[in-house]
Amino acid sequence: MKIALNSGFITDNSKEVKSGCYFVLSNSNSKYSAQALDLGAKLISPSKAIELLGLKNRIKIIGITGTNGKTTTAFLLAHTLANLGYKSAVSGTCGSFIGDRQIAKKGLTTSQILESISYIKEAVDSGCEYFIMEVSSHAIAQNRIEGLEFSLKIFTNLSQDHLDYHKSFSEYARVKSSFLNDECDKIINADCKEISYNPINSLTYSTNHADIYADKINLENGINATIINGDEKADLSLNLHGKFNLYNALSVIAATKKLLNLDLQSICDGLKDFKGVAGRMEIVSHLPTIIVDFAHTPDGIQKVLSSMCDKELIVVFGAGGDRDKSKRPIMGQIVAKYAKIAIVTSDNPRSEDPDEIIEQVAALMPKNTIKIQNRKEAIAKAMDIQNDEVLLILGKGDESYQEINGVKYSFSDQEVVKDILDKKDKNEN
């Protein structure tokens, strides 16, 4: 990564170093500092890079952390701010965006620090007032957010994930909590008891009682609720699905209240007309009903399936390779509880044997559970046997590839569904 200056440039790659340039030190490249010095670079911190680029105090940075909901919360917040007259950039799992314009493809949930700084610079140059970024537990642990001064931090929820990296849930919770222990303005899910946070400058949200909470909740047709903040009450109506999205909406309402201090009804009106995020409860087909979602953790799957417990479900899902193995049978159990028909298939097996992953996922499921390693064939099977059931395809969301033995093959759940439906239409006509 290289960012140009009026004189010289800033880089974090020792292979790009030239005499007189600036080399940003980070956890990931510190071992190359001596080499950069020998080549004539000036070593600087991320904070100094921000200063040299003239970005300090030019934009408000909002960091969103939590196991699930980060992406939807980020885009819903940007949508709300836009409706209220404020321009934002978003950076996270789906890539980086300024409005509808994508400025970087998807990569890490939280980019390396100089990459993030380059997105912030582009956001400032484009007239953005807010930079909204997803902050992963890996990024916190690896100090990939060093030098960033957050105006607001949002915590969504915490459940089992990334234990292959953090080794224990308590360590995972500790890392997440460390992001929330300062006196920065914070928005906290009061219904999640697994983390600790500094209450100074914090605003809580809940579906029960908190600083901002929801009452008279109706989730039958989208989301309808009364939102309460002290003496203020407002009506919320959203074309999103499930209680988990109500939590996302509450975090955005609380965040907007903290940022702009507008009346509650104006804020709730700002959330209207949000179309959702690709791969997050994305309806790919209405007749038959086929939905693609990114849910890939026990809690994420539980929230998606429980939100549709009034419908008969066919669920296609798997688990990623080279990741937390302990969650695999738990995910299988949850799907078995809610699904009329479950089909276990490959997700991104990476370096692992896909059949072994499937067996681990299905270990506590009924013996008649369908197992099909080829994900395209699994989706085709589900669509072939679907009658009036809702078909949920979980795990990959908007991913455009499947990673097998170190190779990323082009693959999209949405495109597979559309291709099968197109072929069916042609055969019928």
**CA-based nearest residue to 93, from 400, 413, 409, 319:** 400
Q: Are 346 and 358 in contact (CB under 8 A)?
A: yes
* Residue 53 domain-assigned (yes or no): no
* Residue 54 domain-assigned (yes or no): no
| Residue 85 exposed, middle or buried by CB count within 10 Å (0-12, 13-18, 19+) | exposed
Residue where a domain terminates, one of 270, 301, 326: 270
**CA-based nearest residue to 335, from 324, 345, 325:** 345
User: In the prediction, which pLDDT does 162 show?
Assistant: 66
Enter the DSSP assignment of 257. Answer: H
Residues 159 and 304 both lie in one domain: no
Q: How far is CA 144 from the centre of its chain?
A: 17
Known binding residues for meso-2,6-diaminopimelate are 323, 347-350, 395, 399
pLDDT digits (tens, 9 = 90+) for 257-281: 999 999 999 999 999 999 999 999 9
User: In the prediction, which pLDDT does 429 show?
Assistant: 66
User: In the prediction, which pLDDT does 426 show?
Assistant: 84
Q: 102 by DSSP, 3-state: which?
A: strand
* Residue 408 domain-assigned (yes or no): yes
Q: How many domains does the chain have?
A: 3
**What is the β-pairing status of strands 130-134 and 101-104?**
unpaired
* Residue 52 domain-assigned (yes or no): no
What is the per-residue burial (b if ≥16 Cβ within 10 Å, else e) of 236-256?
bebebbbebbbbbbbbbbbbb
Q: Are 59 and 123 in contact (CB under 8 A)?
A: yes
Q: For the chain, which residues score pLDDT lower than 70?
A: 160, 162-163, 429
pTM of the model: 0.90
What is the C-alpha to C-alpha distance for residues 183 and 201, in angstroms, rounded to an integer?
6
CATH assignment of the domain containing 254: 3.40.1190.10
What is the C-alpha to C-alpha distance for residues 28 and 143, in angstroms, rounded to an integer?
9
User: In the prediction, which pLDDT does 224 show?
Assistant: 97
Residues 240 and 372 both lie in one domain: no
Known binding residues for ATP are 66-72
Known binding residues are 14, 66-72, 109-110, 136, 142, 144, 323, 347-350, 395, 399
Range of the domain at 18: 2-44
Q: 241 by DSSP, 3-state: which?
A: coil
User: In the prediction, which pLDDT does 356 show?
Assistant: 98
Residues 176 and 231 both lie in one domain: yes
